[in-house]
Amino acid sequence: MLCCDSAWLQMGSYFGSSLCAVDLNSDGLSDLLVGAPMFSEIRDEGQVTVYLSRGNGVLEEQLVLNGDNAYNAHFGESMASLGDMDDDGFPDVAIGAPKEDDYIGAVYIYHGYTGGIIPQYSMRIPGKQLSLRLQMFGQSISGGVDMDGNGYPDVTIGAFMSNSVVLLRSRPVITMDVSIFLPASIDITAPQCHDGLQHVNCLNITACFSFKGKHVPGLIGLNYNLTADVTKKERSNPIRVYFVSSGEAMGQISEQLQLSYMQEKCKQYLAYVKVSPFCLLFPIPNNYLSVLYFKDKPLPAEINQEL
Ligand SMILES: [Ca+2]
Ligand SMILES: [Ca+2]
Ligand SMILES: [Ca+2]
């Protein structure tokens, strides 16, 4: 018997009124989500307790989820395993909060990983974003079936007070691989380039991109930003490495690229280095370049990778 967590102890939390068995960490042992939709701190925010199976019938509490902990949300009224929506090898789940937003409702998406469930939801789907007519959106959820045959499981969500069911289709997930190649060192005592009349140090940078994924398009448009001296820029300090475009020095350049499936494409850049006593005292770290990249909108995933 599961006991001793706050939802179980609170009278009237309706702990156990919804259940979802799913192997969150893909270890072959089924884990368990238990809803307590009437759990209250102020009024019926609701919560879900996540238990991981340790084998031999032993379930260990990992954590408690509560969405946005919204007033009278009834988070955990419904739950469903969605299959692996983001194609990372771990199942994902949807949790309904059908009374959130004054009985319009919302659904939260959480992802499994090796440690169980990622505590922060990846997506909140508010009913009012889909239609102003919806009421009690998230009272019932069914997932794990690929309705449109695109290789990714989709999800249906009921909103019974508005006589509606919503089908949300998953979009393909694209994984980007980015490599940046730099010279191992530069000789700052012998400037190699000119910036106007000034002798400056410079270095060649090669940035290579490729993408992969299941059932993804053969050709994508990629927008990316190449940023120099990231750590300094984040702290609003003067940057020491810069690019030159149209005669102007800039710490970041934005480019577009057409990429074919599984075919690496590389671009060359020249970066300039400001030599100063400060620069000599504080060596430029290896991760001074980063690439922020995203496919043509409206793909929601945005990845920021530091190299
Ligand atoms: Ca498991
Ligand atoms: Ca997943
Ligand atoms: Ca699908």
Q: How many helices (H) does the chain have, and how many strands (E)? A: 5, 22
- Residue 166: closest CA among 110, 215, 214, 98: 98
Q: Which ligand is nearest to the CA of 84?
A: 2
DSSP state of 280: H
Separation of 127 CA from ligand 1 center, angstroms?
Answer: 31
Separation of 144 CA from ligand 3 center, angstroms?
Answer: 9
The pLDDT score that the predictor gives to residue 163 is 96
The pLDDT score that the predictor gives to residue 283 is 47
Separation of 187 CA from ligand 1 center, angstroms?
Answer: 54
pLDDT tens for 68-125 read 999 999 999 999 999 999 989 999 999 999 999 999 999 999 999 999 999 999 999 9
Separation of 223 CA from ligand 3 center, angstroms?
Answer: 26
The pLDDT score that the predictor gives to residue 36 is 97
Whose tokens are 């300094």? That residue is: 232
Q: CA-to-CA distance for 52 and 241, rounded, in angstroms?
A: 48
pLDDT tens for 230-262 read 665 556 666 678 888 887 888 888 888 899 998
Separation of 39 CA from ligand 3 center, angstroms?
Answer: 34
Average pLDDT over residues 264-293: 65
Of 100-109, 155-164, 285-294, the one with minimum mean pLDDT is 285-294
User: For the chain, what is the mean pLDDT?
Assistant: 85
**Phi, psi (5° rounding) for residue 138?**
105, 5
Residue 278: pLDDT over 70: no
The pLDDT score that the predictor gives to residue 194 is 79
Separation of 152 CA from ligand 3 center, angstroms?
Answer: 4
pLDDT tens for 182-211 read 887 777 777 778 777 778 888 888 999 999
User: For the whole model, what pTM was predicted?
Assistant: 0.75
What token pair was written down for 272? 């300039």
Q: Which ligand is nearest to the CA of 30?
A: 1
Q: Which ligand is nearest to the CA of 172?
A: 3
Residue 4: pLDDT over 70: no
Separation of 233 CA from ligand 2 center, angstroms?
Answer: 34
Query: HSE on the CB side for 78, CA within 13 Å?
Result: 24
